[in-house]
């Protein structure tokens, strides 16, 4: 519970034919993390399944693209599991290719319809523009004997260049309308041998011909109605295609879900990567397994594999702990706390698992700062009602609510009312100094525990000198406690005391000596840096301890806010009074609740985690049956 699970580095030797089945079995168990061991690369030079992997990735990509058009239902449990052969995967991939081709043609068609709509808009604008021109537009239509004439549009950026280019072929370009990065132009020249040359350069410039309506200056209404009709055709075509696509989706959805299941089953073999290696018919799989799962893995492989296999498990030496993935044991209660710990970082293998310490201290601090039976009950109720949205964070919120309710009992507070029942311990505002001193004691206790955890972590990783002399080490904590003891004696009897004084000086000098040895710099700079760092160690402890005063400050703040709400409520009568009480309590719950949560997290992360664990461990990510992580 207080440490990551003990891990074993395993090598499974098996027949090459059994490799896919073994991968699937390991993924079903969800306790094996593949990892290549370089020392085997020479003896097992081949990485199997390269073609299988390529097909898988292509199929996954196709499925992903199809899913953006045809949403699939959630993944349900796949049972029974089976090995997906390369042939089966290949035909699934081919089928997905065909489906994607259909989807892609719909996508392309929709794009063309959008272009068509855009073109119709342009035509409508052209119609307005032509209508205001005082020329016989029939001159612009049809084939001419001596004249080559084109009316159309092209990207505005290409107009000057095209004008100059076609001038070389004795053509002229006139622009008559510009809108949304497109320019409407008329290109005119003498018909002859250079027509083909012109066509080619116009294509390169992105020229689109516009139709000149034959009846334009006679019956513009008719043209408008024609444009409207075409617009309706485009809309109808879009609707038809959407319906057709929907029909296609309904037709293939079930098969797509089956294909997705196949890919899920194929993924473990793909995810093995270079952790699986071959030499002829002999294969190996290397990776990490929690020690306690070893037996289960062995018996599952024994049941699943037809051929012989051998599993060897090594305990990683301390020198290789950096390579070992960290597996934090998680249950439904600690899952949310574990997620919050991982927000800071993953502890290295062998270091203390801070989840339980985090959970207990967070819940305690939240309750201390937000103690109210009613508010706690509301948090519990809200967490229970929103459990589907909160998912694994439900126990976290319920625990916070329980803690708030418990401290509410201790403080004698219910929705801010402090006279409804007697406090089991003390109403915070009755003795603020006492509350502050309690918070100080809590902070000292927290700092001592955190330093002990640091010492443990350094001892585990074999860094004995750091465990003894570094900031947060034995010497530092002795310095911290001796200064505290001396200060307390000074407060009680007026003298610091010889023992605390001697201890403080001795530890301070030891700390300074260690910093001097550790610092890599010229003598003057070394002295300066070591002195500053030693001083910073002491001030750091003091300032971090004082940070915990906020625990008391927020408990006082909670009561003070309630008083403010009641003062305002008392200024109103009847419904106004109760609306103010309810609204004020909601305000306290939401705003102060959020602030208190952030403050508690801050204390955990900055005064706690930053002192004792580096957070640079590698998380244990076992093979699982899901389409995630291996894309």
> How many residues form the binding site for another protein (CB under 8 A)?
31
Instruction: Count CA atoms closer than 13 A to 447's CA, side-chain side.
Output: 28
Q: Which of residues 177-196 bind another protein (CB under 8 A)?
A: 194
Stretch that binds another protein, among 121-129, 199-207, 341-349, 388-396 (CB under 8 A): 199-207
Q: Which of 17, 164 has the CB closer to another protein? A: 164
Q: Which of 65, 292 has the CB closer to another protein? A: 65
Q: Which of residues 500-519 bind another protein (CB under 8 A)?
A: none
Q: Which of 194, 224 has the CB closer to another protein? A: 194
Residue 159 near another protein by CB under 8 A: no
Q: Which of 54, 250 has the CB closer to another protein? A: 54
Burial label for 61, CB within 10 Å (0-12, 13-18, 19+), is middle
- Indicate which single residue of 5, 120, 205, 390 sits in contact with another protein (rule: CB under 8 A): 205
Residue 197 near another protein by CB under 8 A: yes
Nearest-angstrom CA–CA distance, 530 and 514: 8
- Indicate which single residue of 131, 133, 147, 157 sits in contact with another protein (rule: CB under 8 A): 157
Nearest-angstrom CA–CA distance, 468 and 476: 8
Nearest CA among 442, 518, 418, 424 for reference residue 475: 518
Nearest-angstrom CA–CA distance, 25 and 12: 13
Residue 155 near another protein by CB under 8 A: yes
Residue 82 near another protein by CB under 8 A: no
Q: Which of 207, 366 has the CB closer to another protein? A: 207
Residue 415 near another protein by CB under 8 A: no
Minimum CB–partner distance for residue 182 and another protein (Å): 11
Q: Which of 62, 466 has the CB closer to another protein? A: 62
In 3-state terms, what secondary structure has residue 334? Answer: coil
Residue 94 near another protein by CB under 8 A: no
Minimum CB–partner distance for residue 118 and another protein (Å): 11
Measured over all CA atoms, what is the biggest interatomic distance in the chain, rounded to whole angstroms? 119
- Indicate which single residue of 26, 162, 479, 565 sits in contact with another protein (rule: CB under 8 A): 162
Nearest-angstrom CA–CA distance, 53 and 273: 9
Backbone φ and ψ for 401, nearest 5 degrees, come out as: -65, -40
Q: Which of 114, 138 has the CB closer to another protein? A: 114
Nearest-angstrom CA–CA distance, 202 and 596: 68
Residue 164 near another protein by CB under 8 A: yes
Give the residue carrying structure tokens 């879009």: 238
Contacts of 455 (CB under 8 A, 6+ apart): 467, 472, 473, 474, 477
- Dihedral of CA atoms 575, 580, 585, 586 in degrees, nearest 10, equals 90
Minimum CB–partner distance for residue 619 and another protein (Å): 24
**Ordered alpha helix ranges (H), 370-431:** 373-385, 387-390, 394-411
Q: Evaluate whether 457 touches 352 at the Cβ level (below 8 Å).
A: yes
- Indicate which single residue of 11, 16, 169, 564 sits in contact with another protein (rule: CB under 8 A): 169
Nearest CA among 451, 472, 445, 438 for reference residue 549: 438
Stretch that binds another protein, among 166-174, 281-289, 423-431, 483-491 (CB under 8 A): 166-174
Residue 108 near another protein by CB under 8 A: yes
Q: Which of 156, 489 has the CB closer to another protein? A: 156
Minimum CB–partner distance for residue 248 and another protein (Å): 17
Residue 203 near another protein by CB under 8 A: yes
Q: Which of 165, 383 has the CB closer to another protein? A: 165
- Asked if omega into 551 is within 30° of 0 (cis), the reply is no
Binding pattern for the stretch 35-74 against another protein, x by CB under 8 A and - elsewhere? -------------------x--xx--xx--x---------
Q: Evaluate whether 406 touches 376 at the Cβ level (below 8 Å).
A: yes
Nearest-angstrom CA–CA distance, 35 and 327: 15
- Indicate which single residue of 6, 206, 345, 417 sits in contact with another protein (rule: CB under 8 A): 206
Backbone φ and ψ for 153, nearest 5 degrees, come out as: -140, 160
Contacts of 250 (CB under 8 A, 6+ apart): none
- The two beta strands, 33-34 and 182-190, are unpaired
Stretch that binds another protein, among 161-169, 253-261, 480-488, 533-541 (CB under 8 A): 161-169
Residue 480 near another protein by CB under 8 A: no
Q: Which of 205, 568 has the CB closer to another protein? A: 205
**Ordered alpha helix ranges (H), 572-630:** 574-587, 593-602, 610-612
Q: Which of 50, 136 has the CB closer to another protein? A: 50
Residue 101 near another protein by CB under 8 A: yes
Minimum CB–partner distance for residue 169 and another protein (Å): 5
Residue 116 near another protein by CB under 8 A: no
CA separation, residue 314 to residues 31, 97, 199, 277 (Å): 16, 45, 74, 19
Give the residue carrying structure tokens 């390269």: 50
Minimum CB–partner distance for residue 267 and another protein (Å): 17
Residue 198 near another protein by CB under 8 A: yes
In 3-state terms, what secondary structure has residue 610? Answer: helix
Minimum CB–partner distance for residue 531 and another protein (Å): 34
Question: Would you give the DSSP letter of residue 69?
Answer: T
Stretch that binds another protein, among 197-205, 541-549, 580-588, 597-605 (CB under 8 A): 197-205
Minimum CB–partner distance for residue 186 and another protein (Å): 18
Residue 618 near another protein by CB under 8 A: no
Q: Which of 170, 291 has the CB closer to another protein? A: 170
Residue 165 near another protein by CB under 8 A: yes
Q: Which of 194, 217 has the CB closer to another protein? A: 194
Nearest CA among 241, 208, 233 for reference residue 106: 241
Residue 627 near another protein by CB under 8 A: no
Nearest CA among 489, 482, 496 for reference residue 444: 482
Which tokens in the block code for residue 628? 């995630």
Nearest-angstrom CA–CA distance, 480 and 472: 9
- Indicate which single residue of 118, 144, 161, 296 sits in contact with another protein (rule: CB under 8 A): 161
Nearest-angstrom CA–CA distance, 34 and 543: 45
In the complex, the residues that contact another protein under the rule CB under 8 A are 54, 57-58, 61-62, 65, 97, 100-101, 104, 107-108, 111, 155, 157, 161-162, 164-166, 168-169, 194, 197-198, 200-201, 203-206
């Amino acid at each position: 519970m207080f440490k990551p699970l003990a891990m074993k580095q395993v090598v499974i030797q098996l027949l090459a034919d059994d490799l896919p089945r073994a991968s699937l079995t390991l993924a079903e168990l969800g306790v094996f993390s593949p990892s290549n061991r370089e020392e085997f690369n020479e003896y097992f030079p081949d990485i199997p399944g390269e073609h299988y992997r390529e097909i898988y990735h292509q199929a996954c990509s196709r499925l992903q693209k199809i899913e953006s058009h045809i949403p699939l239902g959630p993944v349900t449990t796949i049972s029974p599991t089976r090995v997906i052969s390369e042939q089966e995967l290949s035909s699934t991939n081919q089928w997905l290719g065909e489906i994607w081709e259909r989807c892609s043609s719909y996508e392309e068609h929709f794009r063309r319809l959008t272009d068509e709509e855009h073109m119709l808009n342009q035509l409508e604008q052209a119609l307005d523009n032509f209508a205001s021109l005082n020329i016989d537009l029939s001159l612009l239509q049809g084939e001419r004997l001596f004249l080559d004439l084109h009316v159309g549009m092209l990207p505005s950026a290409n107009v000057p260049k095209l004008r100059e280019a076609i001038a070389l072929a004795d053509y002229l370009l006139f622009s008559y309308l510009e809108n949304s990065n497109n320019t409407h132009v008329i290109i005119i020249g003498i018909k002859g041998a250079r027509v083909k040359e012109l066509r080619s350069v116009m294509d390169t410039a992105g020229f689109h011909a516009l139709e000149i309506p034959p009846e334009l200056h006679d019956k513009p209404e008719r043209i408008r109605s024609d444009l409207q009709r075409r617009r309706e055709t485009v809309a109808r075509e879009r609707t038809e295609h959407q319906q057709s696509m929907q029909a296609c989706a309904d037709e293939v959805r079930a098969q797509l879900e089956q294909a997705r299941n196949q890919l899920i089953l194929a993924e473990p073999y793909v995810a093995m990567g270079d952790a699986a290696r071959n030499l002829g018919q002999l294969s190996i799989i290397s990776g990490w397994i929690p020690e306690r799962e070893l037996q289960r893995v062995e018996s599952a492989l024994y049941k699943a594999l037809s051929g012989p296999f051998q599993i060897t498990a090594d305990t990683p030496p301390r020198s290789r702990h950096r390579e070992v993935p960290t597996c934090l044991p998680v249950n439904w209660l600690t899952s949310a706390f574990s997620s919050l710990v991982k927000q800071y970082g993953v502890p290295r293998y062998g270091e203390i698992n801070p989840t339980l310490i985090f959970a207990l201290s967070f819940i305690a601090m939240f309750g201390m700062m937000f103690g109210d039976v009613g508010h706690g009950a509301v948090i519990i109720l809200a967490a229970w009602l929103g459990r589907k949205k909160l998912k694994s964070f439900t126990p976290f919120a319920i625990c916070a609510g329980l803690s708030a309710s418990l401290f509410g009992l201790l403080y004698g507070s219910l929705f801010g009312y402090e006279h409804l029942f007697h406090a089991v311990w003390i109403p915070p505002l009755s003795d603020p100094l006492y509350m502050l001193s309690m918070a100080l004691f809590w902070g000292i206790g927290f700092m001592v525990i955190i330093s002990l955890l640091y010492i443990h972590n350094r001892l585990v990783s074999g860094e004995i000198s750091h465990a003894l002399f570094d900031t947060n080490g034995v010497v530092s904590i002795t310095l911290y406690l001796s200064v505290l003891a001396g200060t307390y004696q000074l407060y009680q009897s007026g003298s610091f005391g010889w023992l605390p004084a001697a201890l403080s000086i001795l530890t301070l000098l030891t700390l300074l000596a260690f910093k001097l040895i550790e610092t890599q710099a010229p003598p003057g700079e070394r002295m300066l840096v070591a002195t500053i760092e030693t001083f910073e160690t002491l001030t750091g402890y003091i300032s971090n301890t004082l940070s915990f005063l906020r625990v008391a400050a927020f408990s006082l703040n909670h009561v003070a806010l309630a008083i403010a709400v009641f003062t305002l409520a008392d200024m109103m009568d009847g419904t106004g009074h109760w609306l103010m009480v309810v609204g004020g309590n909601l305000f306290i719950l939401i705003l102060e609740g959020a602030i208190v949560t952030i403050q508690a997290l801050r204390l955990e992360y900055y005064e706690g985690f930053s002192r004792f664990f580096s957070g640079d461990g590698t998380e244990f990510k076992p093979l699982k049956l899901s389409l995630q992580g291996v894309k």
